[in-house]
Structure 1
Amino acid sequence: MNQTQILVIGRHPEILATVIRLVNNNPAWNATGCITDEEAMSTFDKQTFAMVLLGGGIEEPSEDKLCAYFTSRNPDIKIVQHYGGGSGLLSAEIYEALE
């Protein structure tokens, strides 16, 4: 079974680790986490992702830069903003974006 690859970007290492763990609890998904914009852009260029999940703490200029970068390389990429709210909300956001 091919897993859906999800790039998760967050500024807080502990929260990022939790989000990655929650995403990876679904056997159909595989999350890769990044802290910095540069790391996220480099990782995006090395792997094929179906979705980018933007966590809290990313300032608007970085968010704008990242979204522009990702969509310039893959116009069909799904970008979801996740600000917390537990694993149920996270799963629902991912399912909705992947439909």
Structure 2
Amino acid sequence: MRTEPENRPGRVLVVGRSPQVLTDTVDLLRANGYSADATNRFGQVVDDYDVSALDVLVFGGMVPAETKEQLRATVRDRNPRVVFVQGLAGIPGLISAQVQAATTTEPPAIGAVGYDPDQRTVRFTLREPAHVTVAAWWLTSVVPPEPRSASMRVLDERRPAGSHTVALPERVPSTASFAALTVGSFARVFTVGPMPTAVTRLAPASATDNRLPPVREVTTRSDDQ
């Protein structure tokens, strides 16, 4: 999604594992107006970046649980206003939508918003006419170190004031799938189908847990744009 955030943060840092996902996410966030960086050097986050200047810190699903807890405590101690976001999947567009959802306020045009899992529908109420987009993403491969995904734009049009329902097409699977509603700067992300247990079990428990193969190091710098 390339909606320009009205209340975008000064800096976003994505801490994850997959090199291509990290670099693609940074490119997308920067294109959407954010000052963004990413790294998979878990033990050097505090040394490599000024965490006191962060507005949003995103964690990927393959960051060890122990590492996340340590970073949360350290960063929060230095920067109480930081917003932590747990990435739902290694999909750049989805991560970008999560950042937008975490950093923008609800505009006057939007009312009630929700997702009906039984009907697989995104529901929302507009207080006034507005341009609305609904996007969906899903994983097509979860083989480490680079997950693969697909996406589609389900809705991209101006809608009148009132209540609306948008059904997700059958093409969007019932596992490892997600959707996002965007109205102006407002975004809301929904889990359509949960991640398979076989995938969540891959997440290391600690920094010394070597169940996943090594990957190329990534440490981006905003001043390198």
**Common fold, TM-score beyond 0.5?**
yes
Residues 14-93 of structure 1: pairs in structure 2 closer than 5 A: 14-27=20-33, 29-45=34-50, 48-84=53-89, 85=91, 87=93, 89-93=94-98
Change beyond 3 A, Cα 1:46–1:76: closer
Whose strand fraction is larger, Structure 1's or Structure 2's? 2
List 4+ stretches of structure 1 deviating above 4 A.
Answer: none
Q: Highest CA radius of gyration, 1 or 2?
A: 2
Distance 1:90 1:14 in 2: 13
Report the aligned-residue RMSD. Answer: 2.2
Aligned pair 1:8/2:14, yes or no? yes
Whose helix fraction is larger, Structure 1's or Structure 2's? 1
Q: TM-score normalised to the size of structure 2?
A: 0.38
Aligned length: 96
User: SS where residue 4 of structure 1 aligns?
Assistant: coil
- Structure 1 spans left out of the alignment, 5+ residues: none
- The higher relative CO (CA closer than 8 Å, separation ≥ 6) is in 1
- Structure 2 spans left out of the alignment, 5+ residues: 1-7, 105-225
User: SS where residue 11 of structure 2 aligns?
Assistant: strand
Distance 2:81 2:68 in 1: 17
Q: TM-score normalised to the size of structure 1?
A: 0.80
Would you say the 8 A contact 1:6–1:51 is kept in 2? yes
Q: Percent identity?
A: 24
Amino acid at match of 2:59: L
1:22-71 CA deviation, whole Å, 9 max, x = no partner?
Answer: 211202x0111111223211233366111111112101101111111110
